[in-house]
Amino acid sequence: MCGIFAYTGKKSAEEVLLDGLESLEYRGYDSAGIYIPEAGVIKTPGAVSELREKIPANFKGHSGIAHLRWATHGEPNEKNAHPHSGCTDDIWIVHNGIIENFKELKEKLEKAGHTFKTDTDTEVLAHLIEYHLQKERDFEKSVLAALNEVRGTYGIAVQYKEKPEMLIAARMGSPLVLGIGEDERFIASDASPILPHTKKVVFLEDGEVAIITPMEHKILKLDATQVKRAPEEIEWNAEKAQKNGYEHFMLKEIMEAQEVIKNTLRGRLIADKGMAKLGGLESVAKKLEDIERIIIVACGTAYYAALVGEYMLEEYAGIPVEVELGSEFRYRSPVLNQRTALIGISQSGETLDTLEAIREGKRRGALTLGIVNTVGSTIARETDAGVYNHAGPEIGVASTKAFISQLTALALFTIFFGRQRHMSKETGREIADALLELPEKIRSILERNERIKELAEKYANYRDFLFIGRKYNYPISFEGALKLKEVSYVHAEGCGAGEMKHGPIAMIDENFPTIAIATQDSVYEKMKSNIEEIKARKGPIIAVVNDGDTEIPKLVDDVMFVPKTLEMLSPILNVIPLQLFAYYFARKKGLNVDRPRNLAKSVTVE
């Protein structure tokens, strides 16, 4: 949510900054802006391509700050785009986060004669630094003084016109990485824009301020005491995400499902022994034997994956599991102890709600584990142990391949925890074999995508959809609905099929289609009855059914076929037609599938 990139060194700052912003575009695309002390400031609504077009040939320099915005305070127009300055245009700042006490600070500054140009909380910080600079006459001290007055979250990079080679960066709750090159330094919201230049980085911690020039940097705490921290070498490469001929990242990422499962499983299954080998959990394996309860925290799509994980872990590992939204967990008083494992699931590894829930769990004594896709992200670093998804970068804002990988990783956790307890070798083997068969089954679903496209186009004029499922596929009803609403902006609701008669069925008529996930499992007969109930109310029905099913296809208007697998793994197959349906539905409407309005890929505000 909002991306920051800053540079000081010998290269052409405008080129370095624009290229870097492009790799941060997943964090926000409401507006973009760049400040180079020698050249000035340029801002625009829209994304980096729009910013590039506005940059004149003479806009050059050797340092600068740049920003991509996901709007929190104030409309996403040019005026509210970052960087922001104070009254004199000497201090410029880019910011990711929210200044919670901006109203009271603004009042104080207005009384001191400052006038504000924008509706943003960030501008207050620029004025506050300027206010202290007028008194202190020292850039470093002024930034520290200002930060000691603000409440809220921030990742910032600040420049002072009089000291163009210097950058000051600070972190509180929003991630920030310092890159250390040969006579050059970088600051970014994540390591991706830094990696093409250097692999030597320092991950700033909350409450730290970095004072940076091309040749050196120092890290201070907010009380100005110095912090010593050796840089780390990042092992991974900058994977430049490409669409590989697909029209959109979303379709490309759905089509990667086979590879994603193989990569999530690689080296982690000992199929003949019915075991899962999770290197990332080895350091805590002994403690995990004594765990009596699991809490999984996550948001959005990752939360729905967690709900499937609850069914898997309770049925096969026999451990009580609760699933919590990250945004709710920390605001109540959860009762945890050392025998509780708290698992955070996050594609980005930066979702603030999930991160704060993990921190709360840690404070309350739980052992924290992560299932994270983005290597080196804050959640990956702050949890006690965990596994990476290895799904590769997910660029489409709607999460698809990460969900498939999260479900696969949860199946591995289930074998791991189950075999530590009462799960037999045979059961472990059965799950392992079924997991290994998934890629081939996925291939057969993806090969039939033209049929799903036809269906999506047939239903593209409906404005409301109900998704129903039971047991393992109950969470898939929510995920199917989320995919459709976020990329198509139509009303879609997930609902437990059994719960439908307690209210939602009132909505059903011939203009309100239902998508029923009704594969042949232990709740198949119950799903059939629910489908009949909808039919009796004249609701159109599309059903996800197993290959070879001859009963449900006779009851419903349209079907999407998928192969059969073990019931606990069926969500992994059943969600794929729903992802494709959402994709083709939005495409038919001519919408920007990869960048749905109002959303951002990484949600680092509460």
Task: Enumerate the active-site residues.
Answer: 2, 601
From 85-93, 273-281, 283-291, 346-354, give the range in contact with ligand F6R by CB under 6 A: 346-354
**Phi, psi at residue 230, to the nearest 5°?**
-75, 140
With beta carbons less than 8 A apart as the criterion, state whether 400 and 254 touch. Answer: yes
Q: Applying CB under 6 A, which of residues 23, 96, 198, 347 lies at the interface with ligand F6R? A: 347
Binding range to ligand F6R, per CB under 6 A, among 70-78, 299-307, 411-419, 581-589: 299-307
Closest to ligand F6R by CB, 199 vs 601, is 601
Sheet holding 208-212, edge to edge: 84-85, 91-96, 154-160, 167-172, 208-212, 217-221, 226-227
405 binds ligand F6R, rule: CB under 6 A: no
Sequence-distant (≥ 6) Cβ neighbours of residue 245 within 8 angstroms: none
- Which residue number, 109 or 605, has a Cβ lying nearer to ligand F6R? 605
Torsions phi, psi for 280 (to 5 deg): -65, -15
Q: Report the residue from 118, 348, 389, 519 that binds ligand F6R according to the rule CB under 6 A.
A: 348
- In the three-class reduction of DSSP (H, G, I as helix; E, B as strand; rest coil), residue 100 is classed as coil
Helices marked H in 34-165: 48-54, 102-111, 122-136, 139-147
Residue closer to ligand F6R by CB (options 312, 603) is: 603
Task: Tell whether the torsion through CA atoms of 345, 348, 353 and 355 is positive or negative.
Answer: positive
Residues in 499-518 that interact with ligand F6R by CB under 6 A: none
Is residue 153 involved in binding ligand F6R (CB under 6 A)? no
Q: How far is the CB of 600 from ligand F6R (least distance, A)?
A: 9
Residues in the interface with ligand F6R (CB under 6 A) total 15
Please select the residue that binds ligand F6R; options are 299, 380, 423, 452, rule is CB under 6 A: 299
- Alpha carbon distance 9, 482 (integer Å): 44
Cα(518)–Cα(496) distance, rounded to whole angstroms? 12
CA dist 307 and 473 (Å) reads 10
Taking the complex as a whole, the smallest distance from the CB of residue 190 to ligand F6R amounts, in Å, to 12
Cα 157 from Cα 188, distance rounded (Å): 9
Q: Which stretch binds ligand F6R (CB under 6 A): 75-83, 147-155, 298-306, 540-548?
A: 298-306
389 binds ligand F6R (CB under 6 A): no
Which C-beta is closer to ligand F6R: that of 299 or that of 559? 299
Tell me which residue has its CB nearest to ligand F6R: 300
Q: Which stretch binds ligand F6R (CB under 6 A): 87-95, 157-165, 348-356, 454-462?
A: 348-356
Beta partners for 367? Answer: 341
Separation CA 356–CA 135 (nearest Å)? 36
Candidates 70-78, 202-210, 300-308, 575-583: pick the segment binding ligand F6R (CB under 6 A).
Answer: 300-308
Q: How far apart are CA 551 and CA 110, in angstroms?
A: 71
Q: Is 486 in the site for ligand F6R (CB under 6 A)?
A: yes
Shortest distance, CB of residue 595 to ligand F6R, whole angstroms?
Answer: 12
354 is a contact residue toward ligand F6R (CB under 6 A): yes
Burial of 301 (0-12, 13-18, 19+ CB in 10 A): buried
Separation of alpha carbons 534 and 527, rounded Å:
11
Q: Exactly one of 300, 361, 539, 577 binds ligand F6R (CB under 6 A); which one?
A: 300
Of these, 302, 531, 545, 586, which contacts ligand F6R (CB under 6 A)?
302
Cβ 50 vs Cβ 100: under 8 Å:
no
Position 33 contacts ligand F6R (CB under 6 A): no
Interaction between residue 399 and ligand F6R (CB under 6 A)? yes
Catalog residues that contact ligand F6R under the rule CB under 6 A.
299-302, 346-348, 351, 354, 398-399, 482, 486, 602-603
